[in-house]
């Protein structure tokens, strides 16, 4: 991967994926962030670059930064559903209505949907 970046230093995809590799395999968070951030600045409208930056942040335990990266991506690449899916995976879920039942239990599902609708009605849903 590093060789590909050396051959084409201005390719944002190579830079971004090298950042992900460095973060995942070597734990070099600073260098990984720098590479992914540079790639995003080169091509702001490419959703995959934001996804890679968010992955680096998430791997480093920086979930809030990952969420902000995805929000930025949604501003520039609105139509890419992958950003929305990744954002949904990062957001914290409410606890089940009945914690002694599984999240998938029909009672928890129905009451959870009712709770969500009620909170949305009163403007408290996020």
pLDDT tens, residue by residue, 66-96: 999 999 999 998 889 999 999 988 887 889 9
Burial class (CB in 10 A: 0-12, 13-18, 19+), 40: buried
12 and 64 together in one domain:
yes
Domain extent for 98: 94-126
pLDDT for 40-59, tens place per residue? 999 999 999 999 999 999 99
**Segment (H or E) for 11:** none
The answer on pLDDT for 9 being more than 80 is: no
87 and 115 together in one domain:
no
Answering whether pTM is above 0.85, one says no
| Tokens read off for 63 | 């979930």
20 and 81 together in one domain:
yes
Banded pLDDT at 6 (limits 50, 70, 90): low
26 and 47 together in one domain:
yes
87 and 98 together in one domain:
no
56 and 102 together in one domain:
no
The answer on pLDDT for 1 being more than 70 is: no
82 and 47 together in one domain:
yes
45 and 70 together in one domain:
yes
The answer on pLDDT for 113 being more than 70 is: yes
């Amino acid at each position: 991967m590093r060789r590909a970046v050396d051959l084409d230093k201005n390719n944002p995809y190579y830079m971004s994926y090298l950042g992900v590799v460095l973060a995942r395999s070597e734990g070099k968070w600073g260098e990984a962030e720098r590479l992914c951030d540079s790639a995003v600045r080169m091509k702001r409208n490419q959703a995959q670059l934001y996804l890679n930056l968010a992955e680096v942040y998430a791997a480093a335990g920086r979930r809030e930064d990952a969420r902000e990266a995805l929000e930025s991506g949604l501003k520039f690449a609105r139509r890419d559903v992958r950003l929305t899916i990744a954002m949904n995976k990062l957001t914290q879920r409410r606890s089940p209505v009945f914690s002694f039942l599984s999240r998938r239990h029909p009672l928890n599902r129905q009451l959870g949907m009712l709770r969500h609708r009620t909170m949305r009605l009163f403007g408290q849903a996020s």
